[in-house]
Amino acid sequence: MSQAEHDRNLAQRIRAHVVRMVHRAKASHVGTCFSMADLLAVLYGGVLRVDPARPDWEDRDRLVVSKGHGAAAVYAALAEVGFFPVSWLDTYCADGTRLAGHVTHHGVPGVEFSSGSLGHGLSLACGVALAGKRDGRPYRAFALLSDGECDEGSTWEAALFAPHHGLDNLVAVVDYNKIQSFGTVAAVLDLEPLAAKWRAFGWAVRELDGHDHRQIRDALAGVPFEPGRPGVLIAHTVKGKGVGFMEDKLEWHYRSPDAAQLAQALAELGCGA
């Protein structure tokens, strides 16, 4: 199987898990999970230097998933690459589960930090990167951000910090799906020109199609993007990507698919129920 096929298959399996989990739990956030699925597939499909058998390995790369509402996709990716059994996914959001609706680390191998309140993750990743830098360790820190959380002032506190301290072992990935809670990013609180903002803050910027595995893999193979600077990958994505009736639809930030919608979604994903 080619790398591209491998990435595509992993992304589709993540999406299939997500839609089943969200259906079973009558949960939400399927749209955001789909927009980041390809990014996660490439990250866990070989970019991140992690070892599911040693989740606390000292020199592992650390991924901070700051957009905690994408939890279902994160758990699906971790289960697919072997951090814990796929059967755990059946417990998503259930009473007594470890797998909360927002990314939770406690008892979940592979999750570095819990999140769920937006705007926390880039600072955490800066701390990890700073420790690695000053200790001369080889690991990298990655932070996966939503576009909505670029509204948070704390995100920009961290954005100022990282270039000042030369954290070129840090990569922020912005899942820029252009939709936030109440509507389009452009309508709620416009981020444009987003690349220029990061560039002005001192980051090395890459922009690409966040559903094109080869582009993502090529970009993330070249960390640091520029020596001495943190990198930001602005991934242009589509909310709900992969299932036609969910794509670019605000409502799939909230809705839970019913049985018929689940079947249709799985069929579109090439993963029959």
Partner 1 sequence: MRTAFVETLTALAERDERLWLLTADLGYSVLEQFAARLPGRYVNVGVAEQNLIGLAAGLARCGKVPFVYSIANFPTLRCLEQIRNDVCYHQGNVKVVAVGGGLAYGAQGYSHHGLEDLGVMRMLPGMTVVAPGDPVETRLATEALVGHAGPCYLRLGKANEPVLHATPPPFALGKAITVRQGFDVTVVSTGGMLQEALTAADRLHAEGLGVRVLSMHTLKPLDEAAVLCAARETGALVTAEEHSVTGGLGSAVADVLAQAGAPMPAFRKYGIPDRLHHHIGSQAYLRRVLAGDLAEAIRLVCPRRRLNCRAA
134 touches partner 1 by CB under 8 A: yes
| 66 neighbors 146 (Cβ within 8 angstroms) | yes
What number of helices (H) and strands (E) belong to the chain?
A: 9, 7
Among 155-163, 174-182, 225-233, 251-259, which window interacts with partner 1 (CB under 8 A)?
155-163
Q: What is the smallest separation between the CB atom of 136 and partner 1, expressed in angstroms? A: 10
Helices 3-25 and 213-221 meet at what angle, rounded to 10? 110
Cα–Cα distance between 1 and 260 in angstroms, integer?
32
- 48: region left, alpha or beta (phi > 0 left; psi from -120 to 50 alpha): beta
Q: What is the smallest separation between the CB atom of 208 and partner 1, expressed in angstroms? A: 27
| Look-up of token digits 């970009």 | 219
Q: Which is nearer to partner 1, 140 or 213 (CB)?
A: 140
Taking CB under 8 A as the criterion, which residues in 59-88 touch partner 1?
62, 64
Cα–Cα distance between 175 and 74 in angstroms, integer?
14
11 touches partner 1 by CB under 8 A: no
Q: Among 117, 199, 200, 270, which residue interacts with partner 1 (rule: CB under 8 A)?
A: 117
Burial class (CB in 10 A: 0-12, 13-18, 19+), 251: exposed
| 210 neighbors 5 (Cβ within 8 angstroms) | no
Max Cα-Cα span within the chain = 53
| Look-up of token digits 């199609």 | 209
Among 43-51, 105-113, 203-211, 256-264, which window interacts with partner 1 (CB under 8 A)?
105-113
Q: Among 135, 218, 251, 258, which residue interacts with partner 1 (rule: CB under 8 A)?
A: 135
Q: Among 67, 120, 140, 239, which residue interacts with partner 1 (rule: CB under 8 A)?
A: 120
Q: What is the smallest separation between the CB atom of 106 and partner 1, expressed in angstroms? A: 8
Q: Among 11, 36, 122, 220, which residue interacts with partner 1 (rule: CB under 8 A)?
A: 122
161 touches partner 1 by CB under 8 A: yes
List of residues contacting partner 1 (CB under 8 A)? 62, 64, 105-106, 112-117, 119-120, 122-132, 134-135, 141, 153-154, 157-158, 160-161, 164-165
